[in-house]
Structure 1
Amino acid sequence: MSTTQVLGDAPFAPAEHPHSSLTRRIDALPASVGLWSFITLLALGGFFELYDLFQTGYISTGLLAEHIFHTDQQGIFGISDQASFASATFFGLFIGASLLAPLADKLGRRLTFMFALAWYGAFSLLMAFQNSAEGVILCRFLVGIGLGIELVTIDTYLSEWVPTHLRNKAFAFAFFIQFLSVPAVALMSWMLVPTTLFGLSGWRWVIIFGALCSLIIWVIRKKLPESARWLEVKGRHADAHAVMCQMERRCGVTPSPQHIPDTREAQRKSGTFKEIWAPEYRRRTLMLMVMNFFQAIGFFGFGNWLPALLSGQGASITHSLLYAFFITLAYPLGCLFCTRFVHRFENKWQIVLSALMTVVFGTLFALQNNPVMLVVCGFMITWSNAWLTISYHAYQAEIFPTRIRARAVGFCYSFSRLSTALTSLLIGLILQYAGTPGVISFIVASMLMVMLSVGIYGPKTRGIELENI
């Protein structure tokens, strides 16, 4: 079998892998029920991450109605408690992604994954029983830390277990499951927030539902195997062989009778933060920092402000919420559609093309007053954002070696959390003074930065083993 071609800036020279090497065994796994069930279990963790992020706007009305939250200067920090709630979320996400996600490189993907999910579930449950703004916001910050760890670990875990030819398709399917949380939280909030059940306000039940389901998933996922690639890097070759045999049996493949360790990474010292700035990775790190910062503006800038943007284009409040519901269906449906083609094309160009689509349909959206065209353009922007999300999550988990993958991805991804917090303030001001066209122009400019950074500086990854990228 011929050696996969290596990019010019790859840190390791090409090497021929024997058939029984770990890399070849993973790439030989078929697209079986066993493999897809494994991917589904991973994706369910991301479902609750997005469920929690998108519930912010829905449960705030219940917190205000119960006089736990206050508006304007009456809030605990002299600003609206809703703003403090959102800021606490993203600050927690930043801490989790940048400072604690590297635990996955040290302690393992599985242990970090289970810890983050349990952390999220426990503090979500605690938040549901708070009766003060201080208590809710503090718990929200702690929940954000768990979510920040969780999403980075999912990307790392998934990229290391999925065969090369299925990586993009696996990420698309995983995000299809995760984005089902958007209509789910909308439906749960619509049914529960205005009500009181068993003496508890409806907003509390929305949180309890997410927390309890995440803890149920935690119990189910206790049997997930550790990343064989991580075990190999740590020099635990017998353990790597054992979990690889377990996955092969799960996928209906006869386990390899022998295991020839790939010691290229194991021979090097454990990864450090300093290493992501080494000459062979510096350009990738800077490229992902820029890409993450600006892509979040497009994603959350449009998604979180969609009803307000529709109202700014002349839609009534009732109609804007209805239009927003149909537009947000593009998140899961777009991901499902993407499973048909994402594995056929280079990731960096999919990022560029999806960002370009946001630019085109964003410009058209700003020029529309017709309700049908608003929904069509909004749907296409949302689908473009979903496609971008699939592509960049798969991409950033590919371009760093196993020993620093979680550390590098967490650090770069944390810049999207910072930009989201900043964007929440900026878009409010832009909408006030420049209207919907001004906001769309801001989003379009951000997506142009995504296109330039990845298009110029991003390495190619399609069909290349993780060890050779």
Structure 2
Amino acid sequence: MSNLSIAARLDRLPIGAVHRKAAFIIGLGLFFELYDVYLSGVLGSVISDQFHISGSTQSLLLGSSFLGMFLGAIFLNRMADLIGRRKAFMVNLLIYSVFTFLCAFSPNVVLLVLFRFLAGVGIGAEAPLGDTYLSEVLPTYRRGKLMVWAYTLQFCSMPVEGLLARWIVPTQFGMAGWRWMFIIGSLGAVFAWALQQFLPESPRWLESVGRKPEAEEIMMRFERHADRSEEDILTSAAPTVPDPPQEKLPVSTLFVAQFRRRTILLWVFQILQTFGYYGFGTLVPLVLAAKGFDVHSSLTYTTLSFIGYPVGSLISLSIVERIQRKWLIVMAAFCMALFGILFGISNSIILIIIFGFLYTMVSNIFSNAYHIFQVEIYPTSIRATASGAGYSLSRLSSGLMPFVLLPLLQGSGATAMFSVVAIAMVIVMIDIGGFAPKTTARVLEELNQVPSSVATSTENHSITP
């Protein structure tokens, strides 16, 4: 099969044990990424009472890890394009685990905010890097579905975290219960870090940077563990794809004519989508507190609402390859705007749980679709950089979001807060519906052919790690 490029062979390859193992290991890493994202929100009211904080300090506590993720998503994902996906995975979870463990022993809110920021630097690259890796090793015809399985494992973290918080936070096991939540996150990330050492490097990335012998060796592992014979793999129906350039592309490729529009629409999307997705998950305990519910009750209702996250992810399994990705994002954004307002105006416990569940359910259909989409629209050698840059803006927006939504919640109530969220989601619908390319079931190399002028420029000005 030496006459075929690595990319073509990957796309013709049947799903095998290596693919399934990769989806599971990445999903486990993403589990702890999302665990961390919602940790400050779930513990927000408890930690505020512990350290007697409010106002801007409370917003800083909620936003500190997101600001760290902003930096991590930029620099660690750029590193992944230079030194490889596998090495970058090793770095980011190790940083996260160390500083999350230190969070558990923070004697004051200043150190807690600092450690949350540094832990965010580590975990910030995990999601876009996981998206990038899976998009590169999974064949086109099953790319969306297997990525959704990884996200479904990720989204199980939310109800698990809610249940743990409801059980552990009110207790004392040698120290305050909320501190054990950080220890659990740290030790879990160590386990995910250990498993990620067994991931093979992306053969697509190796080929794109000219390391063909290594790519060939790993590719043979994929083919040995496929579910069909080599002859079947050779004759498997798949479109012919162009050979990828074997040079590193400069960051400026994001702004050449072919990719400029994609970069702008992705950046606009990432800045605004956080208001809908993370605005609910991180602030819902505080929303319920503003509605008059005590800590124990708010954690119970939050946990019930969070069950919608894995349910929505499972639902997306059956539709992610049937509905064009961009329209799936648009439809889910509309439902998030609607259910958010209904949640905001509800005071009945039953309605709060119902609309909370529906909101989280559709938000994960939304999330699965955009995570797949964002890594489908760039070439391999800058894919991690591009998705990391876009994702970093969502982390920055998430870090600033409490300073916008929390004062609005405290001053004008939940309905006003969710009205602002709804406006953000309407702009997202226009952005994606009006300007995004169609990506479902398209070969990555065909969708992202690099203009010859960029390739020529790269040959003359090569970038080395």
Q: Which of 308, 323, 331 is 1:330 aligned to?
A: 308
Which residue is 2:143 aligned to?
Answer: 167
Does residue 265 of structure 1 match 2:244? yes
Residue 115 of structure 2 corresponds to residue 131 of structure 1: no
Cα drift, residue 465 of structure 1: 0.7
Deviation at 1:115, TM superposition (A): 1.4
CA distance in 2, matches of 1:255, 1:315: 61
Alignment CA distance shift 1:327-1:60 (3 Å): closer
Matched, 1:465 2:420: no
> In the aligned structure 2, how far is the partner of 1:317 from the partner of 1:307?
8
The answer (yes or no) to whether the contact 2:308–2:361 under 8 Å persists in 1 is yes
Aligned to 2:208: 233
Aligned residue identity for 1:280: Q
More moved, 37-46 vs 164-173:
164-173
Q: What residue is the counterpart of 1:5 in the other structure?
A: none
- Cα offset for 1:223? 1.7
Kindly state the Cα deviation for residue 255 of structure 1 after the two structures are TM-superposed.
5.3
Shift of 1:344: 1.3
2:166 equivalent in structure 1: 190
Q: 2: CA distance between counterparts of 1:311 and 1:219? A: 39
Partner of 1:431: 409
Q: 2:263 is matched with which residue: 285, 296, 301?
A: 285
What corresponds to 2:452 in structure 1? Answer: none
Structure 1 unaligned blocks of 5 or more: 1-16, 74-78
Residue 89 and residue 317 in structure 1: after superposition, are their counterparts in 2 closer, same or farther (change >3 A)?
closer
Aligned to 1:242: 217
Q: 1:113 to 1:208 in 2, by over 3 A?
A: same
Q: CA deviation at 1:61?
A: 5.6
Which of 28, 37, 53 in structure 2 is aligned with 1:71?
A: 53
Count, aligned residues: 441
Structure 1 residue 137: deviation in Å? 2.2
Pair 1:100–1:287, CA change in 2 (3 A) = same
1:106 corresponds to 2:82:
yes
Partner of residue 153, structure 2 = 177
**Is the Cα–Cα contact under 8 Å of residues 265 and 403 in structure 1 kept in the other structure?**
no
Tell me which amino acid in the other structure corresponds to 1:112.
A
| Kept in 1: contact 2:241–2:443 (CA 8 A) | no
- The answer to whether the aligner puts 1:24 opposite 2:8 as a matched pair is yes
Moved more, 359-368 or 236-245: 359-368
Cα separation, partners in 2 of 1:189 and 1:246, compared to 1, 3 Å = same
Listed as ranges, the gaps of 5+ residues in structure 2 are 235-239, 448-465
Greater displacement, 307-316 / 140-149 = 307-316
Superposed CA offset, 1:44-98 (max 9, x none): 1111111112121344566556x6x34148xxxxx42x43322321110000112
Distance in 1 separating the partners of 2:146 and 2:204: 18
* Cross-structure match for 1:388: 366
Indicate the SS of the match to 1:223.
coil
CA contact (8 A) 1:18 1:24 kept: no
User: Corresponding residue for 1:35?
Assistant: 19
The alignment status of 1:351 with 2:325, answered yes or no, reads no
- Distance apart, 1:466 and its partner CA: 0.6
Query: Which stretch shows the higher mean deviation, 248-257 or 443-452?
Result: 248-257
CA distance in structure 1 between the aligned counterparts of 2:184 and 2:299, rounded to whole angstroms: 23
- Which residue of 1 is the match for residue 40 of structure 2? 56
Shift of 1:24: 2.9
Q: Percent of aligned positions with the same letter in both sequences?
A: 35
Q: Distance in 1 between matches of 2:417 and 2:165?
A: 27
Secondary structure in structure 2 of the residue aligned to 1:451:
helix
C-alpha distance 312-211 of structure 1, shift in aligned 2 (>3 A): closer
Aligned to 1:121: 97
**Larger deviation: 137-146 or 299-308?**
299-308
Tell me the CA shift for residue 158 of structure 1. Answer: 0.9
Matching residue of 1:215: 190
Give distance in 1, aligned partners of 2:85 and 2:410: 44
Which deviations, in whole Å up to 9, do the C-alpha atoms of 1:4-50 show, x marking residues without a partner? Answer: xxxxxxxxxxxxx9984322321233344542222010111111111
Distance in 2 (CA, whole Å) between partners of 1:86 and 1:245 is 46
Equivalent position amino acid for 2:327 in 1: W
Q: Name which of structure 1's ranges 142-151 and 242-251 shifts more when overlaid on structure 2.
A: 242-251
1:317 CA drift (Å): 6.3
Contact in 2 for aligned 1:314/1:369 (Cα 8 Å): no
For 1:298, the equivalent position in structure 2 comes to 276
Task: Provide the aligned C-alpha RMSD in A.
Answer: 2.6
Compute the displacement of 1:181 (Å).
Answer: 1.0
Tell me: CA distance 1:91–1:461, structure 2 relative to 1, closer, same or farther (3 Å).
same
Do 1:62 and 1:202's aligned partners in 2 also have CA atoms closer than 8 Å? Answer: no
Distance 1:332 1:435, change over 3 A: same
The answer as to whether partners of 1:155 and 1:394 remain within 8 angstroms in 2 is yes
8 Å CA contact retained: 1:315, 1:371: no
Offset of residue 310 of structure 1? 4.6
The structure-2 alpha-carbon separation of the partners of 1:170 and 1:420, relative to structure 1 and needing over 3 Å to count, comes to same
Partner of 2:458 in structure 1?
A: none
The alpha-carbon distance between structure 1 residues 207 and 407, as it changes in their structure 2 partners (threshold 3 A), is same
Other structure's SS at 1:342 match: coil
| CA pair 188-397 structure 1, distance change in 2 beyond 3 A | same
- Please state whether the residue corresponding to 1:345 is helix, strand or coil: coil
